[in-house]
Chain A
Amino acid sequence: MARTIDYRKILTEPLIRQNPVTLQILGICSALAVTTTLATAVTMSVSLTVVLTLSAGVISMIRRHIPDTIRLIVQIVIVASLVIVIDQLLQAYFAEISRALSVYVGLITTNCLVLGRTEAFARHNAPGPAMVDAFGNGLGYSLILIIIGGLRELFGKGELFGVQVLPLADAGGWFTPLSLMLLAPSAFFLLGLLVWAIRSLLPEQAEAPEHVPPLRAEPAE
């Protein structure tokens, strides 16, 4: 191939600069729902990264044989089969976490991140770069999940991975858990603040204002 492919760029670009969750608005549903504890967040990240990488590889391998009109159905069936395998594995070996994740493992099927990457990248590229791109996006997604999961578990319960980190006030320590952190609204707030932080560091990501306010008329003397 005459065109060299920069694997490193494909891999690192989605981590922050093109992050799937905070910039492309893909896969937010599961990103917020499973982040009450770090353990579920990590399990979900690993599952999604595996499904994403494998499905990108498979779809990229057969990309020349999929008729354009039915490609969505073919892609969904491939993703769904992979998700069923992961779901069965989790139920067999990590029964407790599988119960905590409830239906959200099955929902990887309709995670827009998976379909978005196969549509946008795997469909037009060879298996190698497609899998690297998928892996990078999976890592970018995992990064956000782990940050939010860590913050929510740390401030909600004073624990990390179920181990007490901050001494609780009930047990003679100084930390009073913020139970709001375990409820739904805090996930929205944290992600909103994270988006704000990333866009302040990288101002080119900020969205243009929809309306420019008219200049204020000079007060008459």
Chain B
Amino acid sequence: MTGLWDLFVMAAFVDNMPLTLFLGLCTFLALSKRPGSALGLGVAMIGVLGVTVPLNNLIYNALLAPGAWSWAGYPDLDLSYLALIAFIGVIAAAVQLLEMVLDRFFPEIHRAFGVFLPLLTVQCAILAGSLFMVERSYTLAESAVFGLGSGVGFAVAVTMLGAIRSRLAYADLPAGLRGLGIAFVLAGLMSLGFASFAQMAAAQ
């Protein structure tokens, strides 16, 4: 049990997706102008990552991993190079499914998400979650915890950045630094803060 909790903390804070691994930065910067939309994006990320990483883990281990077809008489078959296409397909389908379920049963939430949901298909953080799962060969339980943890880390980071940026809208910045420039500097400062989590993890 402690192993899974450690993995959750590591995925959420030590290896924070946008701030230490630079994943999903496009949406991270584009949708963090207001804390409200940032929170919406964060919740959607938790949902999609929590579903797709374990699902891709099942697909990879049952169909694509080297030796997965040995029961059918093909012990040497190695389909792992197809992982990328399979993962993208699963992510696109999961996002579509999530959108339909929300539309049918929770129309308010669906309306609040607006355009973010379909955008998540091409979000690098989500695909990276599945690719890391393969690279570090997680089990099913570990991959579920890893997916949820990464989603929580992303949500925390994007909400904080949204809050800071909405305050900064009133600041008198040099013209060239306004918008994108200051967002990068802010992300760098937050990244410094999150680097201290890595120090804590190393000290243990």
**Which residues of A approach B to under 8 Å, CB–CB?**
22, 25-30, 32-33, 72-73, 76-77, 80-81, 83-84, 87-88, 102-103, 106-107, 109-112, 115, 183-189, 191-193, 195-200, 203, 206-211, 213
Secondary structure of the A side of the interface? helix
Q: Is the interface of B mostly helix, strand, loop or mixed?
A: helix
Known A-B contacts A25-B30, A185-B191, A189-B188; A196 and B174 likewise in contact (beta carbons under 8 Å)? yes
The complex places the Cα of A168 from the Cα of B9 at a distance, in Å, of 37
Across-interface contacts of A199 in B (CB, < 8 A): 175-177, 181
Q: Shortest CB–CB separation between residue A55 and chain B, in angstroms?
A: 14
Known contacts being A32-B25, A199-B176, is A211 close to B195, with CB within 8 Å?
no
Cα of A203 to Cα of B181 in the assembled complex, Å: 13
Q: Give, as a whole number of angstroms, the nearest-CB distance from B89 to chain A.
A: 8
* Contacts A102-B135, A209-B178 supplied; 9 other A-B pairs, CB < 8 Å: A29-B22, A32-B25, A33-B21, A80-B85, A185-B189, A189-B188, A193-B181, A195-B180, A197-B176
Partner of A106, one of B22, B92, B127: B127
Q: In whole angstroms, how far apart are the Cα atoms of A83 and B85 in the complex?
A: 10
**Which residues of B lie under 8 Å from residue A29 when comparing CB positions?**
22-26, 124-125
Closest residue to B126 on the A side, CB-wise?
A: A110
Q: B184's contact among A72, A73, A191, by CB below 8 Å, is which? A: A191
Mark B residues whose CB is within 8 Å of A. 19-26, 29-30, 81-82, 84-85, 88, 92, 121-128, 131-132, 135, 169-170, 172, 174-185, 187-189, 191-192, 195
User: Roughly how many angstroms separate A208 CA and B175 CA in the complex, as a whole number?
Assistant: 8
Q: Which of B24, B29, B174, B191 has the most CB of A within 10 A?
A: B191
Question: Which residue of the partner chain, among A22, A80, A103, contacts B128 with CB atoms under 8 Å?
Answer: A103
User: Is A213 within 8 A of B84, CB to CB?
Assistant: no
The answer to whether A28 and B26 have CB atoms under 8 Å apart is yes
* Chain B residues with CB under 8 A of A210: 169
Contact B188 A188 (CB under 8 A): yes
Pair A207/B180 contact, Cβ less than 8 Å:
yes
Contact of B131 among A77, A81, A106, A195 (CB under 8 A): A106
Q: Smallest Cβ distance from A185 to chain B, in angstroms?
A: 4
Q: Would B181 and A109 count as touching, CB distance under 8 A?
A: no
A210–B195 CA distance with the chains assembled, in angstroms: 31
Instruction: Judge whether A206 and B175 touch: CB under 8 Å.
Output: yes
In the complex, A112 Cα to B28 Cα: how many Å? 13
Q: Are A115 and B122 in contact (CB under 8 A)?
A: yes
Of B121, B128, B176, B191, the residue contacting A188 (CB under 8 A) is B191
Highest count of chain B CB atoms <10 Å: which of A25, A193, A203, A211: A25
Assembly CA distance A103 to B192 (angstroms): 23
The answer to whether A110 and B135 have CB atoms under 8 Å apart is no
Judging by beta carbons under 8 Å apart, are A200 and B176 in contact?
yes
